[in-house]
Amino acid sequence: MGWVTRKRLLKVAREALCQLRRRFGPLAPDVEARVHGADGDQLDAWSERILEAEKLDDLFSGSLPR
């Protein structure tokens, strides 16, 4: 993976963490690690579900209706 791709993923992960903190409050270290370790497709999927999720488990499980 090139540095441009890594830089983009880091930016997207930071934005996702900011949104998650605003929606759900302080995040556990394992949640932050999960977001930082996610690939672009996973981050995109989570960003589509963040407004519909009532709790973090809903977001990460993918159990929300489409």
pLDDT (tens digit per residue) in 21-59: 999 999 999 999 999 999 999 998 998 888 889 999 988
CA-derived radius of gyration, the chain: 12
User: What was the pLDDT predicted at 11?
Assistant: 93
Tokens (6 digits) for 38: 């996610």
Six token digits for residue 64? 């929300």
Using an 8 Å Cβ cutoff, are 61 and 25 in contact? no
| Gap between the Cα atoms of 17 and 12, Å rounded | 9
